[in-house]
Chains A and B, each alone.
Chain A
Amino acid sequence: MEMPLPDPAILAKKSSLVERLRAVLPGDAVISDEAETRAYECDALTAYRCPPLCAVLPSSTEQVAAVLRICHEMGVPVVPRGSGTSLAGGALPTADCVILGVARMNAVLETDYNNRFIRVQTGRTNLSVSGAVEEENFFYAPDPSSQLACAIAGNIAMNSGGAHCLKYGVTTNNLMGVTMVMMDGTVVEIGGAHLDAPGLDLLGVICGSEGQLGVVTEATLRILRKPEGARPVLMGFDSNEVAGACVSDIIKAGVLPVAIEFMDRPCIEACEAFAQAGYPMCEALLIVEVEGSEAEIAHQLGLIKEIAARHNPVELREAKDADEAGRIWLGRKSAFGAMGQINDYMCLDGTIPVSELPFVLRRIGELSREYGLDVANVFHAGDGNMHPLILFNANEPGQLELCEALGAEILKLCVEVGGCLTGEHGVGIEKRDLMLHQYSDADLEAQMAVKDVFDPQWLLNPAKVFPLSVSQARRAPRPAAA
């Protein structure tokens, strides 16, 4: 994955930049020592690393504004960072950038149960937002698997989803307002505790803009009362096609589960070996979870089991208690860990129309054989968001490139059947160069026009999302240094 060459003029003014940053931030909030900046050299796409010029850890919106004003004046690119769990390289630095981390900004600013929202600083982790409202039996719905670590900042930037978004939606559907600092240091408030902002839906375009439009420092999030209960059922099938048809039938029947997770054989085998969740060995496994009171759960699961029975499942297992529910989820939740144990892996994130599931899984199998790399599939089936995991050996020369080539093929396949390159992880650098498979030049031009308005000099996370060749004219030459 190509990254732009660092600008020597910027590298040359490191010391004056650091001096100016130290003047507006507490002493320990500016990290410029080369050994220490290594802590920020990558996100969860670890194949790509580059230490930044320096990193800053402001603790307030005002400090963020002060940092951005300085970088703006000096023409230095800024890469915002939450917890660095992006799988797309969204938080990958360039050698001439400042990493602006919001990790120290993790306070809860306001909790309002009557009006059902919470306002937090965006460095707060996803899980600890739910944690802050748990005692009143409320929760924050979007639940990425990385929720223990990832920050609301990154969730907003990537418009992250989770297993339960079939019912509750992704980040954008649960975000009510933000405080954001523009690249020139201007602080803007968008939305808030009321619904819908006046004027254009700027909140909608900021969510998912991958840190390219502004640095989000505070967020108002919708919180919901927890359901009375939830219970999963596990179903095994002897083909992907049949499992796919079952998903479609469940949805058509008017049952709206909170989650429908799908695992194929390679994934089942790896998870079982890793977590011993007691999964049946079959071609495809579905975990379907429903919510409500005991009677409501029983009714919905009854309907689901009836539908499943029509598809001759090889296994149908309903959780009888919390312990069994935990075991059903155990394997699914450890899927990435399991893969990490046996191999290096690359996690894709394309989305396809649910009806194309069987065809796409078959094609992925063929491609996997062609490239000689194993692919395990685990994904959110209800909304067609696939996570093929390509297994490879990073120590073997050429394997990473082979894996990336296979990944690109699979993502192009997703686009061909009417889907998209990424359902929840974002484009970052990983899918940047595939954007022209999904969008025309004019489509990308329209998106870049939005960035032109928010960040005319293209200083915020400039080398992401758009193919470098497409954004070239906008990124360079950078404005003359101050």
Chain B
Amino acid sequence: MAVKPENEAELSAGVAGARGPLRVQGGGTRGFQGAGELLETGGLAGIELYEPGALTLVAGAGTPLAEIEAALEAEGQRLAFEPMDHRGLMGTGGEPTIGGVVAANVSGPRRIQVGACRDHLLGVRFVDGTGQVISNGGRVMKNVTGYDLVKLMAGSWGTLGVLSQVSLKVLPKPETQATLAVEIADAGTAVRALSAALGSPFEVSGAAHAEGQALVRIEGFEGSVSYRAGRLAEVLAPFGAVREVAEGAALWTGIRDVLAFHGVPGDVWRISVKPGDTAAAVADFGTGQIVLDWGGGLIWALVPEGTDLRARLRVPGHATLVRAAAGTRARIGMFHPESAPLARIAEGLRARFDPRGIFNPGLMSAPVGA
């Protein structure tokens, strides 16, 4: 079969003719190994349509993220959901693709303001487990025609189908940004500070806590940013001395990519909880180094190898194992267990979309703690 299909028809034929499991891979920056023949999407590349005035872009799933970002940059636009680059954290090479971003619903610090990758995904084309080409959504901003399989595909990690094309909503790049920092040591106080900022009318686009500093970002037109920075400094003042960070943009790239854990040994978990529960969750983990994003609702935890944080998570939410030795990943699985009825629905959907169970088998449904 075509290991690296050059177009959707080849992809479809390749999947239909597959005799065993397929390991679907975009840029390979997440470092999955897994069983099965490698199916690379890199041949399905290229921006097919970009209309800045309509804020929409359509591209092949294998299009390098960098190519898309460059095209947008040229028009003063961007992917507002701020997808992270996993290479530094994972210690991998490769070229991140837009299909990989979508398949894992990768969303960065701006998630709290503009939504996740899935909220910017307008349409998909994909090949299901029988080789059938399926299209859902489209390239318009509002679309409720039939079921939203677009959302279902975002974050399905290639287990329902292989994406061939995605359409995205893009947004204007703001004129400027400002970042405020307050020294706060503990997670609980930091989250309260971030909540105060997020509960203000001043349109915070990033709210993180790293290396003893609570960080708040605002973006927009020059005058508006300096006005809001001033007002937010008042909101944050009760928590400590507020200063403006000079290298704000680079700092947020570091938060987005979890720079603090690059090259530091240990497993990395990504935990989503209600911000108000974060301090309790972190205390329950009892170990490790922490970076908070999403107003405190996203916990990045660096823990000793083999630690299973899911077992220690006692507040509502979920934990995903992002970085670990292949053996650990294979042994304990990456994802958080779902309730029995939801797991049944998920299995039912996989059985429908991929009846032979050939796409990334076991990736999302591996028995946890086995």
Contact = CB atoms under 8 A, between A and B. Distances in A.
Contacts of B257: none
A385 B141 contact: yes
A172 B119 CA distance: 8
Contact of A195 (B139, B152, B224, B298): B298
Interface string A365-387: 00000000000000010111100
B275 A201 contact: no
Nearest to B142: A423
Interface stretch (B14-22, B64-72, B339-347): B339-347
B56 A172 contact: no
Nearest to B343: A199
A344 interface: no
Interface string B149-161: 1111011100010
A200 B152 contact: yes
Given A200-B364, A351-B143, A419-B140, A225 B221 contact: no
Nearest to B337: A198
Contact of A453 (B119, B146, B348): B348
Interface in B143-174: 143-152, 154-156, 160, 171-174
Contacts, number: 257
Interface in B312-370: 316-318, 320, 335-339, 341-343, 345-346, 348-349, 352-353, 364
A427 interface: yes
A239 interface: no
A200 B147 contact: no
A178 B56 CA distance: 30
B124 to A, nearest CB: 11
Contact of B174 (A226, A254, A299): A254
B259 to A, nearest CB: 22
Contacts of A252: 52-53, 75, 172
Contact of A198 (B136, B139, B227, B320): B320
B316 A194 contact: yes
Interface string B103-147: 001000001100110110000000010001111101111111111
A251 B173 CA distance: 11
B93 interface: no
A45 B312 CA distance: 52
B132 A193 contact: no
B224 to A, nearest CB: 4
Given A194-B317, A295-B223, A353-B54, A426 B274 contact: no
Contact of B227 (A112, A188, A209, A296): A296
A442 B134 contact: yes
Interface stretch (B179-187, B196-204, B209-217): B196-204
Contact of B51 (A159, A293, A355): A355
Given A208-B144, A254-B174, A194 B297 contact: yes
A114 B224 contact: no
B276 A115 contact: yes
A205 B147 contact: yes
Contacts of B173: 254
Given A205-B152, A252-B53, A446-B134, A225 B364 contact: no
Given A115-B274, A201-B152, A195 B111 contact: yes
B177 interface: no
B128 A446 contact: yes
A227 B349 contact: no
Contacts of A355: 51, 53-54
A292 B224 contact: yes
B294 interface: yes
B272 interface: yes
A420 B111 CA distance: 27
B346 A202 contact: yes
B289 interface: no
Given A198-B318, A208-B148, A447-B149, A453 B345 contact: yes
Q: Which of A225, A253, A383, A453 has the most CB of B within 10 A?
A: A453
Contacts of A443: 134-136, 146
Nearest to A250: B53
B146 to A, nearest CB: 5
Contact of B349 (A161, A200, A255, A440): A200
Given A196-B116, A200-B155, A418-B139, A296 B224 contact: yes
A353 B56 contact: yes
Contacts of B52: 252
Nearest to A352: B140
A444 B220 CA distance: 42
Contact of B199 (A113, A196, A418, A451): A113
Interface in B276-291: 276-277
Interface in A77-126: 112-116
Nearest to A434: B145
Contacts of B200: 225
B145 A438 contact: yes
Contact of B353 (A300, A418, A449): A449
Contacts of B73: none
B215 to A, nearest CB: 18
B240 interface: no
Interface in A238-263: 248-249, 251-256
B76 interface: yes
A431 interface: yes
A457 interface: no
Interface in A245-299: 248-249, 251-256, 292-293, 295-296, 299
Contacts of A452: 348, 352
Nearest to A425: B144
B175 interface: yes
B273 interface: yes
A192 interface: yes
A444 B146 contact: yes
A215 B21 CA distance: 36
B51 A422 contact: no
Contacts of A446: 128, 132, 134, 136, 149, 353
A190 interface: yes
A300 B220 CA distance: 11
Given A204-B154, A295-B223, A418-B138, A114 B199 contact: yes
Contact of A419 (B136, B138, B152): B138
B152 A423 contact: no
A64 B52 CA distance: 47
Contacts of B3: none
A186 interface: yes
Given A114-B192, A443-B134, 7 more contacts: A196-B105, A255-B172, A418-B139, A442-B132, A443-B146, A446-B132, A446-B136
29 contacts: A116-B195, A116-B198, A169-B119, A195-B298, A196-B155, A198-B335, A200-B155, A201-B155, A225-B199, A293-B227, A351-B140, A351-B141, A353-B56, A355-B53, A382-B141, A418-B138, A419-B138, A420-B143, A422-B144, A423-B140, A426-B144, A438-B138, A440-B135, A446-B128, A446-B132, A449-B352, A450-B152, A453-B349, A465-B147
Nearest 6 Cβ contacts at the A-B interface: A204-B151, A254-B172, A383-B141, A248-B53, A423-B142, A453-B348
Interface of B: 51-56, 75-76, 105, 111-112, 115-116, 118-119, 128, 132-136, 138-152, 154-156, 160, 171-175, 192, 195, 198-201, 203, 220-221, 223-224, 227, 272-277, 294, 297-298, 316-318, 320, 335-339, 341-343, 345-346, 348-349, 352-353, 364
